[in-house]
Amino acid sequence: MSTGLRRLSSHGGAVVNKYGLLGMLVLLTVVFSVLKPNTFATTFNFQSIGLSKSIVALLALAAAITISTGEFDVSIGYSVGLFHVLAIGFQTRNGMPWPVAVVAVLALGAVVGLANGLLVTRAYVSSFIATLGSGTLLYGITQWYTHGQQVAGTLGGGFTRIGGLLGPIPVPVIIVVVLSAGLWVLSEYLPIGRMAYVVGSNRKAAELTGISTRKVVLGAFVASGVLSSLAGVVLAAELGVGVPGTGSEFLLPAFAAALLGSTAIRPGRANVLGCLIAVALLAVGVSGLQQLGASTYVDPLFNGAVLILAVSLTSYAGRRLRARTKSGAGPEPVEPAQSKLPPVPDMVVLTEVTK
C-alpha cells in the first residue's frame, strides 16, 4: 500500500512539474477574465498581447537554443535593436525592395551569430562575455547608423503586413507558431536537437559519443542570430519606424521566459513548448495586473521576480534530474525518429560516469 502511495505521489509530482506552469497560465487567464471581463477577456486585448509579445517569444526561442547547449547569448536584445533599424533603413535609405531587405537582415543575423559562435568555440571566450561585448558593439553600430535619430520613410505594403493582422490573428503570432512547430520537431525528433541537449549536459560525454561539440555550439549561435534578426524584422514591421535604443528592454523578459520554460513540459532543460507557455504567462500576468490598476513599473518588477524564480526552479529541476539518474530511475526517454544516438537515459548515465 505504501509503495502504491509513493508511486502515486511520484506520478502526481511529475505531472505538476510538467504542467504546473500551464495550469498557472490557465488560472491567471480565468481570474483576470472574471475580474476584468470588459477589458481583459476581449479580442482586442489578446491581439495586443500577441503583437507586443511576439518579439519576446522569438528572442526567448533564440535564448533557449543557446541555453540548451550550455551557453548564453545576451547580444539578442542589442541585435533586435540594430536589425529593426536596418530593416527600415535598407528600404528607405538604400532603396531595397522589402523582400531583399528582409533577406539581407536575416543574412546579417547569421553573420553576427557566426561571429559569436567563433568567439566561443575558437577563441574560447566565455559566451556571456563574448556576447555582451558583441552586443555592446552592435549598440554602437546602431547609434552610428542612426546618429541618434529615428529612421523613417515609405515602406512596402507587404512589409507592413508582417506586423498586422490576418483576420483576427496577428501575423507575428502566426510566425511564432509556425517557427516554434519547426523547432519543436527539430529538438524532439531529429538527431541535431538531441545533440544540443547532450552537449549542454556534458561536453566531455558528448565528445566521447562522437559529437562535434564545436559545430553544435556554433550552429546554436547562428540560429540565435537568425532568430534575433527575424525578431528585428517583425519589430520594424510593427513600429513602421526605426528607433535607436530599442531592443535592450526585450532581453530580460526573453531570458526570464526561456529559463522559466525550462521548468515545464521537459523540466530541467530548455524546450520550445515550455518557452511559449512562459512567454504567455508573463504577458497575461503583466497585462492583468496593469488592468487591475498596477503602475507601469510592474512590468520590470514582475519580469525580474520571474527570472529569479525561474533560475531557482531550473536549478532545482536539474538537481532532481541528476538525483533520478544516480538512483537508476532516469529521466523520461524521448525516442527520436531515425536517430543514431542512444536513448536519453544512456546519455545521462554516460554523463554521470565521465564527470
The residue type found at 193 is G
* pLDDT grade for 300, boundaries at 50, 70 and 90: confident
Closest by CA position to 336, among listed 217, 198, 175:
198
Does position 351 have pLDDT exceeding 60, yes or no? no
Does position 59 have pLDDT exceeding 90, yes or no? yes
* pLDDT grade for 301, boundaries at 50, 70 and 90: confident
**Cell digits of residue 163:** 506586423
Closest by CA position to 266, among listed 304, 299, 314:
314
Burial of 258 (0-12, 13-18, 19+ CB in 10 A): buried
The residue type found at 215 is K
Instruction: Render pLDDT for 125-174 as a digit per residue (tens, 0 to 9).
Output: 999 999 999 999 999 999 999 999 999 998 988 999 999 999 999 999 99
Q: Phi and psi (nearest 5°) for 151?
A: -105, 115
- Candidate from 43-52, 286-295, 323-332 with smallest mean pLDDT: 323-332
Does position 329 have pLDDT exceeding 60, yes or no? no
The better pLDDT of the pair 3, 22 is held by 22
* pLDDT grade for 314, boundaries at 50, 70 and 90: low
Does position 29 have pLDDT exceeding 90, yes or no? yes
- Domains located in the chain, CATH noted: 17-354 (1.10.3470)
Number of C-beta neighbours around residue 190 at 10 A: 14
To the nearest 10°, the Cα dihedral for 138, 140, 141, 146?
130
Mean pLDDT of the chain: 85
Q: Stretch 19-40: mean pLDDT, rounded? A: 90
Does position 338 have pLDDT exceeding 50, yes or no? no
Q: Stretch 39-64: mean pLDDT, rounded? A: 94
* pLDDT grade for 289, boundaries at 50, 70 and 90: confident
CA 47 to chain centre: 20
To the nearest 10°, the Cα dihedral for 220, 319, 312, 257?
30
The better pLDDT of the pair 6, 60 is held by 60
Instruction: Render pLDDT for 194-224 as a digit per residue (tens, 0 to 9).
Output: 899 899 888 888 888 889 999 999 999 999 9
Question: Sign (positive/negative) of CA torsion 258, 264, 269, 275?
Answer: negative
Highest mean pLDDT among 32-41, 109-118, 302-311, 313-322: 109-118
